[in-house]
């Protein structure tokens, strides 16, 4: 197994499936409040260059519940690439901590951080991808449908970091993945090509939300303007007209379809209130599973499972 977890396809299919099984096991242990402290005496350094609710709380709470202690390091403490280089931060934090989790802007910085750190580095989101999110999403999908095979996932919205992680997951697990985005907001072409050439999944880019939603088992969306792009929101609102996940769009999918969103959601923009609150919405199970999946990821990387 790789020392670090920076992209979902850093792992083979078998490794992904074994982490998935482990997340189910560890989730059950925590639900049962079983005494379990594999990270006793361990520390996790968490670097956040961007805001976060779920990632911060799920890592901090999860690591604590497994017996460890974590440190929140915001932009005032560590400003990778400005106050200090990624390679210096890597070696300093490796001297004090057993593991590093980082949420950064520039994807090149997390690669450099991992390269110079002697301890495992986990990607907690970059401008390019969000692997922990998509790992938690497959746990949620498996729990809901009882399987990962033969599912159509229709992503509606911005071709962003979430899409890149889905495309890379499509190189490991077979799926039908469609990204319906406005013409000028597609995902990274090279990542799309990698997913296509892996020939494991059917992957498509479309500009037609209703066509994409047809027969979908999962309708997934995310904010129209990601962190670092918030200033573009007004302009984006014009381009993303017709890309809101509405009850009508959900009706185009399968009757058994679920709605997913990595959150935070901007209700009224990429998704209506009604869809968020509908019985099809599994967004809060999805958010909870961040903690369980990340616990499994950390245990695997630490060689504790």
Kindly state the DSSP code that residue 157 receives in the 8-state scheme. Answer: S
State which of residues 229, 263, 267, 288 lies at the interface with ligand CP (CB under 6 A). 263
Stretches 50-58, 73-81, 146-154, 202-210: which one binds ligand CP (CB under 6 A)? 50-58
CB atoms within 10 A of CB 60: 19
Rounded CA gap, 182 and 218, in Å? 19
Q: In the annotation, is 179 catalytic? A: no
Kindly state the DSSP code that residue 230 receives in the 8-state scheme. Answer: G
Q: Which partner from the list ligand CP, ligand NVA, none does 160 bind, CB cut-off 5 to 8 Å by kind?
A: ligand NVA
Q: Which partner from the list ligand NVA, ligand CP, none does 53 bind, CB cut-off 5 to 8 Å by kind?
A: ligand CP
Is 202 an interacting residue with respect to ligand NVA (CB under 6 A)?
A: no
Q: What is the 3-state secondary structure (H, E, C) of 93-128?
A: HHHHCCEEEEECCCHHHHHHHHHHCCCCEEECCCCC
Phi/psi at 100 (nearest 5 deg)? -130, 135
Rounded CA gap, 259 and 158, in Å? 16
Rounded CA gap, 281 and 260, in Å? 6
Is 165 an interacting residue with respect to ligand NVA (CB under 6 A)?
A: no
What is the smallest separation between the CB atom of 192 and ligand CP, expressed in angstroms? 22
Structure tokens belonging to residue 294: 């990340």
CA atoms within 13 A on the CB side of 296: 23
Cβ proximity to ligand CP: between 37 and 53 the closer is 53
What is the smallest separation between the CB atom of 211 and ligand CP, expressed in angstroms? 27
User: In the stretch 123-162, what mask flags binding to ligand NVA with x, by CB under 6 A?
Assistant: --x----------------------------------xxx
Residue located via tokens 């245990």: 299
Stretches 22-30, 63-71, 230-238, 261-269: which one binds ligand CP (CB under 6 A)? 261-269
List binders of ligand CP among 120-149 (CB under 6 A).
Answer: 125, 133
What is the smallest separation between the CB atom of 305 and ligand NVA, expressed in angstroms? 26
Is 262 an interacting residue with respect to ligand CP (CB under 6 A)?
A: yes
List binders of ligand NVA among 230-289 (CB under 6 A).
Answer: 262
Structure tokens belonging to residue 240: 């993303």
Q: Which of 132, 179, 181, 262 is catalytic?
A: 262
Is 53 an interacting residue with respect to ligand CP (CB under 6 A)?
A: yes
Element of type H or E holding 63: helix 54-65
Q: Which partner from the list ligand CP, ligand NVA, none does 172 bind, CB cut-off 5 to 8 Å by kind?
A: none
CB atoms within 10 A of CB 235: 11
Could you tell me which of 158, 92, 160 has the C-alpha nearest to residue 126? Answer: 160
Rounded CA gap, 132 and 47, in Å? 15
Give contact residues for ligand NVA (rule: CB under 6 A): 125, 160-162, 222-223, 226-227, 262
Catalytic (active-site) positions: 262
Which residues are near ligand CP by CB under 6 A? Answer: 52-55, 125, 133, 262-264
């Amino acid at each position: 197994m790789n020392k670090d977890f920076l992209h979902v396809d850093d792992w083979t299919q078998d490794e992904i499936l074994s982490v998935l099984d482990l997340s189910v096991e560890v989730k059950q242990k925590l639900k049962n409040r079983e005494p379990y402290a594999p990270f006793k005496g361990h520390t996790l350094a968490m670097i956040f260059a961007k805001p976060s609710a779920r990632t911060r709380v799920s890592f901090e709470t999860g690591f604590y519940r497994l017996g460890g202690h974590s440190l929140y390091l915001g932009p005032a403490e560590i400003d990778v690439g400005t106050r200090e280089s990624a390679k210096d931060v890597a070696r300093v934090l490796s001297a004090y901590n057993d593991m590093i989790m980082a949420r950064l802007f520039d994807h090149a910085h997390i690669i450099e951080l991992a390269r110079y750190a002697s301890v495992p580095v986990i990607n907690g989101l970059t401008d390019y991808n969000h692997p922990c999110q998509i790992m938690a999403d497959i746990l949620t999908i498996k729990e809901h449908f009882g399987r990962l095979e033969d599912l159509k996932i229709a992503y509606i919205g911005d071709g962003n970091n979430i899409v890149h992680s889905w495309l890379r997951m499509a190189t490991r697990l077979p799926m039908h993945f469609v990204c319906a985005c406005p013409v000028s907001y597609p995902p990274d072409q090279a990542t799309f090509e990698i997913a296509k050439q892996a020939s494991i999944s059917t992957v498509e880019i479309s500009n037609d939300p209703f066509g994409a939603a047809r027969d979908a088992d999962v309708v997934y969306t995310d904010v129209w303007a990601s962190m670092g792009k918030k200033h573009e929101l007004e302009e984006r609102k014009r381009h993303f007209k017709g890309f809101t996940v509405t009850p009508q769009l959900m009706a185009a999918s399968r009757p058994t379809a679920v709605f997913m969103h990595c959150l935070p959601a901007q209700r009224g923009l990429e998704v209506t209130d009604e869809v968020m609150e509908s019985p099809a919405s599994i967004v809060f199970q999805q958010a909870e599973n961040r903690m369980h999946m990340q616990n499994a990821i950390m245990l695997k990387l630490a060689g504790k499972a």
